[in-house]
Chain A
Amino acid sequence: MDGSGETPPVQQALAASLTGPQLLFAEARRGVGASGPGARAALRTTPGGGVSMSPTAQEALGQVFRDHERDVRRLCRRMLADDAAAQDAASETFVRAQQRLVSYDETRPMRPWLLGIAANLCVDLIRRRGTEARIFDDAGADPEALADRAPSPLGHLLRAEERAALLSGIDALPVKYRLPLVLRHFAELDYDAIAELLGTSRNQVGSLLFRARQRLRIALGETSA
């Protein structure tokens, strides 16, 4: 499954101002010691779906992953609101990432790609929790919750305790509000991407996000008062 013809040459990727670990990663993908532009000698999909790599490439990949490990773990933690599950999900993310390395477009940044994998995984996990097979029940569409007289937006919360309160407020949000919020503000996905991930419409994403913020404003207003 050598797809060297379909993706841009590695040289282009290198030219796309990749730095540090990403350069290393590109190097790894090109296959250290292998020859030829665009060669993927170092990277072969095995029959089992896994990827076999040269040790150097493996190490380079490991380093790239480690750079994003914290973000991936945080995303899982915020989406799942469960430490143990988040840990597992993060590990699983990197396993999947390695398996899908071939599909990675190296002209794009690494973080959104990894976070996308993690987000997919977490959404699957939440769906599999059974009770929430459908993340969005019908009540999710209730327009009356969009009160006209909502509390005003949260300002700069400088104090650590306020921030801690906000973070735990986010954890406490129902999953249908929490997921869009985390995907938007942590994974920095746009509405379409979030809608696709969660299996809903972009307008729905917009109003869920809006309501999530309103809930947080109310929750924080209550705690600080």
Chain B
Amino acid sequence: MSCFPELTYAFFVDGELDASEARSVQAHLIGCRSCRALVVGLQDEATLLADVLHERVPQSYRLAPRAAPPPRELAMGVVPMLGLGVVALAVLGWIFESLPAGVEWLNPFRLQGVYEMAFNFLFVIRDDVPGLLEFLIALAGLASVSLLLLFMVSMLSRRFVGTASFAVLLLALLAVPRSGAALDLHFHEDEVSVPAGETREQTMIVNANTVRVDGVVDGDLIVLLAERLILRGEVKGNVFSSARTIEVSGKVEGNLHAIGEKVRLDGEVGGNMYSASEILTLGEGAKVKRDSTHVAGGATIEGRVERDLFMIGHWLDVRGNVARNVDARAERVSLLDGARVGGDVDATFWEKSEVEVAPGAVVGGEVRSGVHEGWQEAWYSHYADAGFYVWLVIRLGAAFTLGLLLHFLAPRLFDVRLTSGGDFARSIGVGFLVLVATPIALLLIGITLLGIPIAVIGLAAFLSAVYVSGIVIAALVGSQITKPHSDTLGPFAAALLAGLAIVIVASELPLLGAPVRFLVVLTGLGLLVQRAYFAWQDARSVTAV
């Protein structure tokens, strides 16, 4: 007999067929596996609809009396993904550590080509997607590039983690524009220029192909993704610029931040200079009144830095004048004729090498050459330090206390689940979005006159969320292990403590620590945001009922 239409089975499942019809359906079902499956599916669907309409909370959604999800399911999904990710990162790290010099360019942590690729990519986006959307995407891209840079910098040198500043500073400085400054916005124009003799009494935010400043900008100058920035005039505030080519021959009274393929300074910077580029040149007339920090493929310093010079990249040529110390991590560092360094020259090489000092170069202090000791050694050295363990315990205690407090105040915060690899991947995705989008949103809030206070509060909330995300993940991990039988304080505390211990120790592991921490933050943020979203939805539907 041929199969019945699905409608008949729907009647059948609802018990609405008359006796003879029902019998013939039953007879068919005995012999037809696919129809049996369909009927079971329809029954499940009916149960689901009843459950959802009655708003019965599925068991697995609750934290404490966890009937489901089975740990095996979790093991099938999350653990292998986590393991794979960590192993892949470790292998990558090892490969690039031990790569022969000839194929070094493969190393994504190196700089060659990165900027060109990034800029080409961003320009393609900009030119092919018209409208405001395009601007936002470009901005997100820019933030990602900054993040990438930050990540690279912190990977390369722990000392430079301190200068995680590049992003934080960007945020902080943007959040505090010069008092009373209004905004002068130019988006998606071909050329924007401030002619000589003119003064713009506002902070300028510009997205154009070419930006020329021959006059005066009496505020900050923010250039988003231009082909070319030519600054011959004067900027009284800070300059934040991302352009393929950046040429500054005028004067910047604040700090100069430059991300580009080629960055050239011939003028004067009143504050610090930060740059990330493939080729950096400080020409003969260049003057940086404070520190000068660069991530660059190659850097030529012919001008004057009145404090320290930091540089990470492939090569550094100094012909000019550095009033204090030079600190470089590179493959080649040369002090050429005419170079004057007031303090020490510290160079760390990827492979054993020496600083080349020309006969005409003068160094006030010492010249030291070292070899990059690699992440492992750097990590191992601090394991011998007792203070490190005290610090671990303090961190554990702080997180534990806050976790208990949060559990007391907002127990539903911990009502999160990772039941499958899909959940995990999605949380990571959401987490990444939040991690990138929140600073951008805060930045936009900060620079519009809408609200510096809002931006500051938002930043605080964001940082808190990043911290809390670790605690939530720890509670999740802990509850997988201790399997608390109830949601009361005792079992929760045990789970939290176990989880925190695991997460904190894991995030301090050599080599794996950083990726683990990054993953924890991403996943935690993702879960928190989803949790908040559904709590909001629940709240809506609860008030509705």
Contact = CB atoms under 8 A, between A and B. Distances in A.
B358 interface: no
A175 B42 CA distance: 22
Contact of A166 (B10, B48, B423): B48
B38 A153 contact: yes
Contacts of A146: 5, 7
A207 B541 CA distance: 29
Contacts of B41: 152-153, 155
Contacts of A186: 50, 53-54
B51 to A, nearest CB: 8
Q: Give the interface size bracket for A toward B.
A: 35 or more
Which of B14, B49, B69, B534: most chain A CB closer than 10 A? B49
Contacts of B53: 74, 78, 167, 170, 182, 185-186
A6 interface: no
A77 B7 contact: no
A164 B534 CA distance: 8
B285 to A, nearest CB: 60
Interface in A183-199: 184-186, 188, 190-191
Given A74-B545, A170-B53, A191-B16, A156 B7 contact: no
12 contacts: A70-B545, A74-B55, A86-B545, A152-B38, A156-B48, A158-B60, A159-B61, A160-B57, A190-B15, A202-B16, A206-B10, A206-B16
B11 A185 contact: no
A73 B544 CA distance: 9
Interface in A140-195: 146, 148, 150, 152-161, 163-164, 166-167, 170, 181-182, 184-186, 188, 190-191
A210 interface: yes
B425 to A, nearest CB: 14
Which of B6, B11, B16, B53: most chain A CB closer than 10 A? B53
Given A155-B41, A159-B417, A210-B10, 9 more contacts: A154-B44, A154-B45, A155-B48, A158-B60, A159-B423, A160-B534, A163-B52, A191-B14, A213-B45
A206 B534 contact: no
Contacts of A70: 545
A210 B52 CA distance: 17
Contacts of A156: 44, 48
B541 A167 contact: yes
Interface in A88-147: 146
B509 to A, nearest CB: 32
Contacts of B50: 185-186, 188
Is chain A's binding surface mostly helix, strand, loop or mixed? helix
Contacts of A158: 58, 60-61, 68-69, 419
A83 interface: yes
A83 B6 CA distance: 35
A157 B544 contact: no
B46 interface: yes
A7 B6 CA distance: 43
Contacts of B545: 70, 73-74, 77, 86
Interface residues of B, number: 40
B281 to A, nearest CB: 51
B193 interface: no
Nearest to B423: A159
A115 B146 CA distance: 60
B543 interface: yes
Contact of B6 (A159, A202, A210): A210
Which of A83, A158, A166: most chain B CB closer than 10 A? A158
A209 interface: yes
B534 A161 contact: yes
A184 B14 CA distance: 9
Given A166-B48, A170-B52, A182-B53, A148 B10 contact: no
Contact of B541 (A148, A152, A164, A209): A164
B20 interface: no
Contacts of B537: 161, 164
B154 interface: no
A86 B543 CA distance: 11
B210 to A, nearest CB: 43
B52 A206 contact: no
B54 A74 contact: yes
Given A74-B545, A78-B53, A153 B5 contact: no
Contact of B543 (A83, A166, A167, A190): A83
Interface string B45-87: 1101111111101101100000011000000000000000000
A150 B6 contact: yes
Which of A159, A161, A202: most chain B CB closer than 10 A? A159
A209 B48 contact: no
A202 B48 CA distance: 23
* 3 closest A-B pairs by CB: A153-B41, A153-B45, A186-B53
Contacts of A77: 544-545
A170 B417 CA distance: 25
Interface string B504-545: 000000000000000000000000001001100110010111
Contact of A155 (B5, B6, B44, B419): B44
Contacts of B11: 206
Contacts of B419: 158-159
Which of A73, A163, A207: most chain B CB closer than 10 A? A163
Contacts of A157: 48, 52
Which of B50, B51, B68, B544: most chain A CB closer than 10 A? B544
B40 to A, nearest CB: 9
Contacts of B16: 190-191, 202, 206
Contacts of A188: 50
Interface in B8-44: 10-11, 14-16, 38, 41-42, 44
A184 B46 CA distance: 9
Nearest to A152: B41
